[in-house]
Amino acid sequence: MAWHYLLAPPFIFLFFIFMYKNHFFYPLRKRIKSAIPSSLPVVGMLPVLVANLNRMLDLSSRKLRGSNGNHFFFHGPWFLGMSIFVTANPVDARHLFIDNFQNYPKGKDFYEIFELGGDGIFIADGDTWKYHRVKAQLLMSSTNFRVFIAQLSREKIKNALHPFLVHASSQNIVIDIQDMFLRLSFDMSTNFIAGVDLGTLSKDLSENPIARAIDEVAAALFFRFVMPQPWWKLLRALGVGHEKRMAAGGRILDHFIANVIEERRREIIEGRDAPPSMLRSYMEETEVQESYKFLRETVINFLFAARDTTSAAMTWFLWAMCRYPHVEEKIMDELNSISKSITSDGLAVFEAEQLEKLIYFHASILESLRLHPSTPLNIRSVLKPDTLPTGVKLTPGMKVVASMYAMGRMKTIWGEDCLEFKPERWISKEGELKYEPSYKFLPFHTGPRSCLGKQIALTQIKMVIAAMVYNFCFEIAEGHVPEPKFSFILHMKKGLMVRVKKR
């Protein structure tokens, strides 16, 4: 690769940053910042992307709603060959992820961006991916594993969540509930994946180096995704910026994973009893017992996936409870109708089987995920030339992005009231849950790569949220306005600041 090509993207990007900040260019800056994605000569849509990075989900949704066929092409600078097809059309989604699934792998670029995860289930394609998926599916579909997840969730609610919320309510302090959910999800994830409870959800909210490393790596990975490939590769070669922090975070994670693998190995050799976990289950199988690479990739892939997606879903759902009191009241009525156990502190804990009976509660979670899917974008590469059912022609090397965030806001899919939070849209006249095709409702993806942890995630969300809203009241802090963060995971940009009161 020629050096002038390698160095071009950073200088172009810096030029636009200068243009954006400099008062001389203020009128142009203002136009760019208020624009929906539109192409400019030579530089394409890159200036609009840079100026509106934290608003890109909503801006692209507006463009998709106004476009013919609910899709458009994102074009970067012409000399970088950036051409990305963006869609919010269920017909496109079905073709991409189900009907012609084999033609749309994650791709080489995706693999390079997420190199830290190796050949793990969320990164690999082909036979490697199939091998990971079969093993994960066998484990997650077993009754014993689901019972373990429910028991783990109940114990964390009693021993960590309840004490933290009691403390917050007694102190009358404003807390970031998103941070709390991240800590809770992280503790539960490390427990069921690796058999380790790191106890990050505590009254003092002390920082954990493993959790911090995951945050650093996630930020660097997103930086790789939005920046031209030659730039982040140059930063990686120089060992500076996000790349330096990702390398450091990767070393911390590798050290942690090596330690837990060794601990599980000693347990098996010595015949010690230990709580079930994904890692131990895999290690007890002879064909993977010595495969450190496989075990490492399994742990690191599921750590990233399980922690962030579940915590994001719970954050947006609690925000909905605060914003729509009538929804909370109906959920409370349902919770009052089922049995529950009372702890020594006088707080209620619900069983997973009981919560499965609650139709409105389930519908409310689906409605929250419709408007705020934990993973707002699904990214694929084009392997062979193809024509979509909507007539769009795609060529090899292109990137394809399905916006689940935009799909939840399309009148053509959900009707004129698509922007309203309305759990009733999921309930039939007979009072049963309505079925919606997975290519129309994509929070858990669709097709061969649909989410294996869907039921586990829903169980944890129901048990945690039920224990929270039944025992406590939550009020959004005055002046706090939640905003979606443009990232791989739909976190809130400034967290969710709330006050907690015991009912």
pLDDT in tens, 366-388: 999 999 999 999 999 999 999 99
Q: How far apart are CA 304 and CA 2, in angstroms?
A: 35
Chain center to CA of 412: 25
Q: Lowest mean pLDDT: which of 286-290, 334-338, 499-503?
A: 286-290
Q: Which residues are annotated as a binding site for heme?
A: 451
Prediction pTM value: 0.88
Residue 38 has pLDDT above 70, yes or no: no
Q: Which one-letter amino acid corresponds to residue 354?
A: Q
Beta strands in 287-420 (DSSP E): 341-342, 348-349, 377-381, 386-387, 393-394, 399-403
**Domains identified in the chain and CATH numbers:** 82-502 (1.10.630.10)
Q: Which residues are annotated as a binding site?
A: 451
Q: Which one-letter amino acid corresponds to residue 486?
A: F
Per-residue burial over 363-378, b if 16 or more Cβ lie within 10 Å, else e, is bbbbbbbbbbbbbbbb
- At 94, list the tokens: 């079905």
Question: In angstroms, how far is the first alpha carbon of the chain from the final one?
Answer: 64
Q: Lowest mean pLDDT: which of 3-12, 228-237, 351-360?
A: 3-12
Query: Edge-to-edge strand order for the sheet containing 377-381?
Result: 71-75, 83-87, 399-403, 377-381
Q: Lowest mean pLDDT: which of 47-61, 126-140, 337-351, 423-437?
A: 47-61
- At 462, list the tokens: 């129901």
Q: Which pLDDT band holds residue 22 (cuts at 50, 70, 90)?
A: very low
Residue 476 phi, psi (nearest 5): -65, 135
Residue 411 has pLDDT above 80, yes or no: yes
Q: How far apart are CA 152 and CA 157, in angstroms?
A: 9
- 111-168 confidence digits (pLDDT tens): 899 898 888 888 888 888 888 898 888 888 888 888 999 999 999 999 999 999 999 9
- At 302, list the tokens: 């599921």
Dihedral angle, C-alpha 88, 89, 93, 95, nearest 10 °: -150
Residue 225: Cβ within 10 Å count: 17
Residues counted in the chain: 503
Average confidence (pLDDT) over 408-422: 95
DSSP three-state, residue 186: helix
Beta strands in 285-398 (DSSP E): 341-342, 348-349, 377-381, 386-387, 393-394
- At 118, list the tokens: 């190796």
Instruction: Show the 3-state SS of 18-63.
Output: HHHHCHHHHHHHHHHHCCCCCCECCCECHHHHHHCHHHHHHHHHHH
Do 186 and 215 form a contact (C-beta atoms < 8 A)?
no
| Apex 86 CA angle, 84 and 88, nearest 5 | 170
Distances (CA, A) of 137 to 194, 442, 445: 17, 19, 15
Q: What pLDDT does residue 389 have?
A: 94
Q: How far apart are CA 15 and CA 21, in angstroms?
A: 10
Residue 481: Cβ within 10 Å count: 9
Q: Using CA of residue 292, residue 295, residue 299, residue 302, what is the dihedral sign?
A: positive
- At 262, list the tokens: 């060794």
Helix, strand, coil % in the chain, rounded to nearest 5: 60, 10, 30
Average confidence (pLDDT) over 336-361: 94
DSSP state of 433: B
Share above pLDDT 90 across residues of the chain, in percent, rounded to a whole number: 59
Q: What pLDDT does residue 28 have?
A: 43
Q: Lowest mean pLDDT: which of 42-51, 215-224, 438-447?
A: 42-51
Residue 402 phi, psi (nearest 5): -95, 125
